[in-house]
Structure 1
Amino acid sequence: MVESSIMGMTYFKRYRMEFDLRDWRGEDPRLPEGYEILPYLPGLLREHAIAKFNSFKEELDANVFPCLSRRDGCLRLMREITSRGDFVPDATWLIRALETDPKTGAVQSYAVGTIQGLSTEGWGSIQNVGIDPAHRGKGLGSILLSKAATGFRAVGLERMHLEVTTENTGAVRLYERLGFKRSSVVYKAAEVAGASA
């Protein structure tokens, strides 16, 4: 017996949300104990991809952007973002969790958060703010957005924006709490298994 899933086109409603950087003071929230944050370096590409995969693999956005549901897809996406001419390294950050082995005292780290920035048509464009579900609720997303905002200002940008699926209410609330304003509604078409055509 062969199982097959019917693919159908689904349209996901998304908000474009904007933030005015002209009044940005660059006040970074404090990083919780047990974490470190690193600026973008090419050698961290795989860690960004791992953080992205772990953040999105079971989330709605993995349906909207299927590459987010696969490790190789996240790595390919990171390579595409960082090879673009409008890539902004200053707005691209990685958060690692730090764990100390109680027996040896050795500190191990693993990637749990990522954000990337592009400069498009005079705007700082946030790409894929991702926090591993096991590390949410600690302010890490706010820290990544703050670092990205500071990075965009450092390269002379005065505004930034992002898109968020409207059903991702936790993320929408976070962005609004930080001062992002909804500016428009956009629709993203995606093929989803089991969706009626």
Structure 2
Amino acid sequence: MRFMNFHYVKRYRMEMNLLRWQAPVLRLPHGYLLVPWHHSLTQHHAEVKYRSFRDGIDAQVFPCLGELEGCERLMSEIKAKDGFVPEATWLVEYIGDGLRYAEYCGTIQAVRTQKNRSSIQNVGVLAEHRGLGLGKGLMLASLLGMQQVGITQVGLEVTAENRSAVQLYHQLGFRSVRTLYKSVELACAPAGS
């Protein structure tokens, strides 16, 4: 028999004003390319999302991120939203070892929530490609895409425990506007098992 235990995860709601934002130069390391949105890439976005989040805290907070089917469903829902912003939705492709070993290794999407406002959804980079600036590249491409379509206010939520993401968002100009706590169920074995 298993018991459910609840744990509260601290998350930040962060926002930035694109009217005052000065975009830094967008550079990716050698061997990495930004790939713009196309509906044929939906499955690739879902797979990168799953592989990026399945072993992390966000898969506990949002169980759909810990399952490939959940990520496929989530990507289908995102692209079907009236406010989906294709110009702010990107993949990163790694071709450093040649086309034979090419793989998608980063993803980002955005959804317009009001006329001039949007929300960034699930910035994910595969573990073996982290620490190279790919998350920053995805964010810059997405923010530039939002500027192109007239979005002036951008928001996102991030788990406080994900310190590198929080630091990146602050560096790009996001500011924390609210602290949230999300209840997460944790399965526990009974004592003595």
Instruction: Work out whether the TM-score is over 0.5.
Output: yes
Q: Is residue 48 of structure 1 aligned with residue 39 of structure 2?
A: no
Whether contact under 8 Å (1:56, 1:130) holds in the other structure is yes
Q: For 1:98 and 1:194, how far apart are their aligned partners in 2?
A: 43
Task: Note the 1:67-146 alignment, pairs <5 A.
Answer: 67-100=64-97, 107-121=100-114, 122-146=116-140
Q: Show the counterpart of 1:174.
A: 168
Q: Show the counterpart of 1:13.
A: 10
CA RMSD of aligned residues (A): 1.8
Q: For 2:104 and 2:4, how far apart are their aligned partners in 1?
A: 33
Aligned partner of 2:55 among 29, 53, 58: 58
C-alpha deviation, 1:62, in angstroms: 0.4
5+ residue gaps in structure 2? none
Q: Secondary structure at the match of 2:102?
A: strand
Whether contact under 8 Å (1:62, 1:69) holds in the other structure is yes
C-alpha deviation, 1:99, in angstroms: 4.5
Q: Deviations over 1:87-119 (max 9, x none)?
A: 111110000111436xxxx53321110000001
Query: Relative to total residues, which structure has the larger helix share, 1 or 2?
Result: 2
C-alpha deviation, 1:195, in angstroms: 9.5
Q: Show the counterpart of 1:192.
A: 186
Q: Deviations over 1:42-81 (max 9, x none)?
A: 1101111111111101110000000111111111110011
Q: Show the counterpart of 2:142.
A: 148
Q: For 1:98 and 1:53, how far apart are their aligned partners in 2?
A: 20
Q: For 1:108 and 1:22, how far apart are their aligned partners in 2?
A: 40
Q: For 1:165 and 1:136, how far apart are their aligned partners in 2?
A: 17
Q: Number of residue pairs matched? A: 189
Q: Show the counterpart of 2:26.
A: 29
5+ residue gaps in structure 1? none
Q: Deviations over 1:125-146 (max 9, x none)?
A: 0000001111011100001110
C-alpha deviation, 1:36, in angstroms: 1.3
Q: Deviations over 1:130-183 (max 9, x none)?
A: 011110111000011101111111111111111011111111111112211111
Q: Secondary structure at the match of 2:101?
A: strand
Q: Secondary structure at the match of 2:180?
A: strand
| TM-score computed with the length of structure 1 as normaliser | 0.89
Q: Secondary structure at the match of 1:85?
A: coil
| TM-score computed with the length of structure 2 as normaliser | 0.91
Q: For 2:176 and 2:121, how far apart are their aligned partners in 1?
A: 17
Q: Secondary structure at the match of 1:55?
A: helix
Q: For 2:188 and 2:18, how far apart are their aligned partners in 1?
A: 42
Amino acid corresponding to residue 154 of structure 2 in structure 1: M
Q: Show the counterpart of 1:159.
A: 153
